[in-house]
Amino acid sequence: MGFYEAVLISVMTAATPLVLAAIGELVVERSGVLNLGVEGMMIMGAVCAFAGAQISGSPFIGVLCGMIAGGAFSLLFGFLTLTLVANQVATGLALTILGLGLSGMIGESFIGLPGVRLPVLDIPFLSDIPVIGRIVFGQDLLFYASIGLVIGVAWFLFRTRAGLRLRAIGDNHGSAHALGVSVIRVRYLAVLFGGVCSGLAGAHLSLVYTPQWVENMSAGRGWIALALVVFASWRPLRLLAGAYLFGAVSIGGLHAQALGVGIPSQFVSMLPYLATIVVLVLISMDRRLTLINRPASLGQPFVPER
Amino acid sequence: MSQKDGSGFQFNLQTTKGNNMKKTLLALAASASAIMLAGPAAAQMDQVKACFIYVGPVGDFGWSYQHDQGRLFAEEHFGDRLETAFLESVPEGADAERAIERFARSGCNIIFTTSFGYMDATNAVAARYPDIKFEHATGYKRDHPNVATYDSRFYQGRYIIGQIAAEMSETGSAGYIGSFPIPEVVQGINAFMLGAQSINPDFELKVVWVNTWFDPGREADAARALIDQGVDILTQHTDSTGPMQVAAERGIFAFGQASDMIEFGPETQLTSIIDDWGPYYVERIEAVMDGTWEQQATWDGLAEGHVVMAEYANMPDDVKAQAEATEESIRSGAFHPFTGPINKQDGTEWLAEGAVADDAALSSMNFYVEGIDDQLPQ
């Protein structure tokens, strides 16, 4: 494995959990719901994926457990905000706090155990292509899932009737309701999808990124994912670009330090955030398009009138 | 509309902050209820309440984990005579002062604040509660008679692992993952380099600062970056097991940090510098019980058992024998890792031939020794 190959793979590993969590949240926000509990769902996914893999011995069952945990946790959010119409911001924050605490409790007996790593899935023949083969076709399941999800979500949102309906709900839930679209049902599905994606992101952390369980291992990645959604102006492909840029600058900064380039380390730590903000602001310079993309009823509660 | 758009970003920032604060508040509430359950503290000093503030989660399997092991050791030692409480993941800064103050009000007799960044907060609260004893780990400010500081001479261990690194490296270079450029960490880097240079004068050290004590993912990223650049030995001054695992994955050697991390790299860990706080906590709590507690600045190392080396593993017998010999000579006081001649990075003389660095110079160290190819962030 050459130097550049190794660096690129590190970048992809760093970006994948962000892509997974952010693409889920993008769908949630497109449906008009703001779920700030990404960090909480992610960490629950991480601990349950690790626990599932440890107990069953299979990392694939671990991934499944992570998805279920993230999904179940998001349904709690759904029940509180959609059925009981609780404040979305407060509930999302509570979900994060609860997730961080609960995961610590669940994970207590798993601290200090070496994990099971999710194997690399080599796609025959394609992975033998020089340079790009190993990078694009020799990754783990969750990397393919992240790319597949971005393409799938882009297609779903902008090329299907169901996607149009979801966006309509996010823009004006009153009108969508009047047209006979089941606002609550669609939002439940969107929230569930977001939870499963966050769970996958968590599974990536505890089965691929650093195959182990330690408390608070998500270390704020859920919040970065949330910010990415806003900066990508709710566009899936921009989101992918943003996540990879973030990963590239953050890995690049570490390399620059190791080479002894003499950039202050505090600046290097700040750089990924700065670069991502600048670039995404530049690509969404067209204010009209940004306004069109922003779900107009984001975060507003919906109570169907009889 | 434009206003709304702008607030989308602000919003995310604010909620991140709010989250931290809420987490702390939640932790406070939890500890408050635990205190209530435990009942009022006895007036006599044969019953002491000791409280601990941790910077990371107790499950980090590194720094905070080891402090908590120390707390449990003290609990075990004193049995019914000691009651303890702790707060974990308390951010350094304003939140820390609130957390310490909360403990001070809740009847703690002695409060251990276990991270460098709690230094000012600890002294500020200590000024308001003269009857409570405060113990600040790794700091140097003792502004009030009820503040003591304690630290371990980790650099002793780092000198030993530097020697091992130079013996074991085939490329003659090691990677060092640093947290923050504070004296304690810089000391460690210099000690490591001096140890390595004592074996191989041309030894190369690459340093990467991650600006966090605990982020397994980022620490692992730093480890990957260093390995990709050709180092074949890793050491870290951050708290998670992430780097050890990456080293194991890539088949190179590494040193554990704070706790014995051999489980994460059975064929990777050469040794680990283990922090053993238990005996110190017992000693200081005992002093509170006896009424003999006094302000002091404790800085103990291998000799007192505060720094313990994990088993020397995965190395040839002669390297092991040498490491043990160095450990013994440091323990007995025959050898000090910072013994001259030592030059600063720019080539100017710091210690003359045979001179030994005093503790004041060590605890304010803010420069690299000669041979380190990195700029120290200031």
On chain B, the residues whose CB falls within 8 A of the CB of A268 are 209, 211
Q: How confident is the model at residue A253 (pLDDT cuts 50, 70, 90)?
A: confident
Class of the domain covering B154-267+308-363: alpha beta
Residue B234: its chain A contacts at CB < 8 A? Answer: none
Q: What is the DSSP string of B305-351?
A: TSEEEPP--SS-HHHHHHHHHHHHHHHTTS--SSBS-EEBTTS-EEE
Which among B1, B211, B229 is the nearest to A265, CB-wise?
B211
Residues 270-299 of chain A whose Cβ lies under 8 A from any Cβ of chain B: 287, 290-291, 294
The residue in chain A having the minimum alpha-carbon distance to the alpha carbon of residue B266 is A114
Query: Where do the DSSP E strands lie in chain B?
Result: 48-53, 82-87, 110-113, 133-137, 147-152, 173-178, 204-209, 233-236, 253-258, 269-275, 297-300, 307-309, 342-343, 349-351
Which residues have C-beta within 8 Å of that of residue B244, sequence separation ≥ 6?
B234, B236, B254, B256, B261, B264, B265, B268, B269
Q: Could you tell me which chain B residue has the CA closest to the CA of A13?
A: B221
Cα nearest neighbour of B176 on chain A: A258
Element containing residue B112 per DSSP (H, E): strand B110-113
Let me know: does B217 contact A221? Beta carbons within 8 Å.
Answer: yes
Contacts of A104 in chain B (CB under 8 A): 57, 59
Can you say whether the dihedral through the CA atoms of A212, A214, A219, A223 is positive or negative? positive
Q: Is there a common fold for B14-152+277-300 and B154-267+308-363?
A: yes
Contact A40, A70 (CB under 8 A): no
* Most confident segment among A18-27, A105-114, A226-235, B8-17: A18-27
Contacting residues of A for B60, CB less than 8 Å apart: 214-216
Q: Rounded to two decimals, what is the model's pTM?
A: 0.82
Q: pLDDT of B35-85, one tens digit each?
A: 444 444 434 578 899 999 999 888 888 889 999 999 999 999 999 999 999
CATH topology of domain B14-152+277-300: Rossmann fold (3.40.50)
Q: State the angle between helix axes of A236-258 and B216-228 in degrees (0 to 180), rounded to the nearest 10.
A: 60
* Chain B residues touching A250 at Cβ < 8 A: 218, 221
Query: Where does the pLDDT of residue A94 fall: very low under 50, low under 70, confident under 90, or very high at 90 and above?
Result: very high
Are the Cβ atoms of A214 and B59 closer than 8 angstroms? yes
Please give the mean pLDDT across all residues of chain A.
90
pLDDT confidence tier of residue B294, bands split at 50, 70 and 90:
very high
Query: Domain segments of chain B: what residues?
Result: 14-152+277-300, 154-267+308-363
The predicted-structure confidence for A70-93, as pLDDT tens digits, reads as follows 999 999 999 999 999 999 999 999
B22/A96 Cα distance (integer angstroms): 10
CA distance A254 to chain B (A): 6
| CA angle (B147, B151, B152) in 5-degree steps | 160
Per-residue model confidence (pLDDT) at position A54: 94
Any B CB within 8 A of A179 CB: no
Above 50 in pLDDT, residue A131?
A: yes
Tokens 């780097």 sit on residue: B243
- Across the interface, whether the CB atoms of A217 and B216 are under 8 A apart is answered yes
Give the angle B357-B154-B312 at the CA atoms, nearest 5°.
120
B377 secondary structure, DSSP code: P
Please give the structure tokens belonging to residue B16. Answer: 């991140």
Query: CB of A41 within 8 Å of any CB in chain B?
Result: no
CA distance B261 to B278: 19
Considering CB atoms only, which of A115, A226, A259 is closest to B229?
A259
Nearest Cβ partner of A214 from B16, B216, B374? B216
Per-residue pLDDT at B25: 47
Are B221 and A251 inside 8 Å of each other by CB?
A: yes
Q: Which candidate in B205, B209, B269, B373 is best for mutational testing of the A interface (most A CBs within 10 A)?
A: B209
Q: Is A3-293 a CATH 1.10.3470 domain?
A: yes
The reply to whether residue B23 touches residue A226, judged by beta carbons under 8 angstroms, is no
Question: DSSP class of residue A80?
Answer: I
> Is B205 in a helix, a strand, or coil?
strand
CA–CA gap between residue A224 and residue A202 (Å, rounded): 14
| Interface ipTM above 0.90 | no
In A179-235, which ranges are continuous DSSP H helix? 183-204, 221-231
CB pairs under 8 A between A and B: 162
* Nearest CA-CA partner of B344 in B193, B217, B212: B193
Residue-level pLDDT at B44: 52
Predicted confidence (pLDDT) per residue in B322-349, tens digit? 999 999 999 999 999 999 899 999 999 9
User: Nearest C-alpha of chain B: how many angstroms from A298?
Assistant: 10
The answer to whether A130 touches A137, Cβ cutoff 8 Å, is no
Parse chain A into domains and list their residue ranges: 3-293
Average pLDDT over residues A119-147: 80
| Most confident region among A117-121, B21-25, B38-42 by mean pLDDT | A117-121
A113 in contact with chain B, both atoms CB, cutoff 8 A: yes
